[in-house]
């Protein structure tokens, strides 16, 4: 599937989902963190870090870092633009979908169900004046899907995701 087709499909899916919302959905609860938190790992397997950069700088940096790391960027989804296309407002929210088949394939061989959570994703989102980056905790995904014997690979994925999220080199 071509990237443009995938992006159109993702946009259409977002538009269809937004069309099904009622006016009462406008003020959906968003998990927030205090300004002093820099990283949070929650029980649902989501890691969220607060970055010092502004939203656009963070998005540009992550896109470049994905390329520099030799990963395949499959899609960039601008959820705020998708919302605007159906006359809805959403604070800046951009999703990166990317991966490396050399890393993901052994994980899927260990537990095929992990394919529902792969390729990897990073979500950049504005939370008031803060910019957050969220991603799935690889240890949580291993537990969720019963992946054993891949600890080194999972630790490397966790380190890569943390560096992409924070900008650490």
Note the pTM of the prediction, 2 decimals: 0.79
pLDDT digits (tens, 9 = 90+) for 18-43: 444 444 444 444 444 433 356 787 87
d(CA 72, CA 141): 21
Structure tokens at 154: 């999972």
pLDDT digits (tens, 9 = 90+) for 96-125: 999 999 999 999 999 999 999 999 999 999
Cα Rg of the chain (Å, integer): 16
pLDDT at 23: 42
What are the percentages of helix, strand and coil residues in the chain, rounded to 5? 45, 20, 30
CATH class label, 3-18+40-166: alpha beta
d(CA 169, CA 154): 19
Strand pairing of 39-41 and 120-127? unpaired
């Amino acid at each position: 599937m071509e990237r443009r087709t995938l992006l159109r499909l993702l946009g259409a899916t977002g538009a269809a989902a937004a069309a099904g919302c009622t006016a009462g959905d406008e003020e959906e609860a968003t998990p927030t963190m205090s300004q002093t938190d820099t990283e949070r790992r929650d029980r649902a397997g989501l890691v969220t870090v607060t970055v010092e950069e502004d939203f656009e700088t963070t998005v540009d940096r992550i896109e470049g870092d994905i390329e520099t790391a030799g990963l395949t960027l499959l899609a960039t989804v601008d959820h705020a633009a998708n919302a605007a296309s159906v006359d809805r407002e959403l604070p800046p929210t951009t999703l990166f979908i990317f991966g490396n088949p050399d890393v993901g394939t052994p994980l899927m061989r260990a537990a095929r169900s992990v394919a529902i959570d792969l390729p990897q994703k990073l979500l950049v989102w504005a939370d008031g004046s803060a910019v957050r980056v969220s991603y799935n905790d690889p240890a949580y995904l291993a537990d969720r899907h019963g992946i054993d014997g891949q600890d080194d690979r999972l630790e490397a994925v966790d380190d890569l995701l943390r560096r992409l999220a924070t900008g650490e080199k």
